[in-house]
Amino acid sequence: MDINSLFNLQGKTAVVTGGSRGIGEMITAAFLANGVKTYITARKAPALIDKASELTDKFGGECIAVPCDLSTNGGIHEFVSELQSKETSLDILINNAGAAWAEPLMEYSESGWDKVMDLNVKSLFFLTQQLTPMLAKNASFENPSKVVNIGSIDGINTAAFESFAYSASKAAVHHLTKVLAARLIKEKIVVNAIAPGPFPSNMLGAAVAHDYSIIAANNPSQRVGTAEDIGGLTVFLCSRAGNYTVGETITCDGGLVARAGHNLSNS
């Protein structure tokens, strides 16, 4: 029951998709600070490599950049092949890579819809599918591997913006989490999801001109999220402390979903 044992991640190996910025960067920082060898992915190679170096310098440990485009099955195959050339097993998968698209209802484009659904839902499923053998290799019921899918409170509440595909995709992530959890527990892999509220990010920042003051004022906690908030919850789910929590979607939003009638949400 010692806290250092309950939350210990030392020596584990993780993948964080979209790990070079926003929530993905925050989770990566939490892993590195706690001894997790972490592979991060993104499409833009120079920025990804620079971020891996920056995070390694700041938090120690090993942060390895693997540039790839996970929005296509070809990109997923390339990433999995690269990972398999470096590792024989995997302990943690954080499905964080995502896209958003907002347009008025009557102008909402098929290309925008497909971009969001392909990356947020389809790629999450197929990456998890292809990494299942690596996740299962060393897993046991006493020490299961972990998958954490990053959803959004926009998949629970009604979003303030006309981001129809984004809200639908995140609701799909939450339900897919339950379906995958029911299947993968048989492989000693525990699957859960986190539904973040507002955190500083390029995605949310673009919608509010990087001024989070109004969003903070409308949050019961009177602020937006921090790296400690999302990092701490992820560490819990990926450690011994989270082994018996299976198939859940946990909000991390300062109380927005709990507050009845609230609809000013985006992450």
Per residue in 55-114, pLDDT tens? Answer: 999 999 999 999 999 999 999 999 999 999 999 999 999 999 999 999 999 999 999 999
- Is residue 267 a part of any domain in this protein? no
Give the per-residue pLDDT at 211: 83
Confidence (pLDDT) at 205: 62
Decide if 259 is inside a domain: no
Task: Tell me which of 39, 166, 212, 244 is the catalytic residue.
Answer: 166
Beta carbons of 197 and 223 less than 8 angstroms apart? no
CA separation for the pair 148, 40 (Å, rounded): 15
pLDDT band at 266 (very low <50, low <70, confident <90, very high): very low
Q: Is there a domain that residue 258 lies in?
A: no
Number of structural domains (the chain) is 1
The answer to the question of residue 137 being in a domain is yes
Structural domain span for residue 130: 3-252
The model's confidence at residue 264, banded by pLDDT at 50, 70 and 90, is: very low
200: which residues sit within 8 A by CB, 6+ positions away?
A: 22, 210, 212, 224, 225
**Amino acid 174: pLDDT:** 98
CATH number for the domain harbouring residue 155: 3.40.50.720
Number of Cβ atoms within 10 Å of the Cβ of 260:
5
State yes or no: is 166 an active-site residue: yes
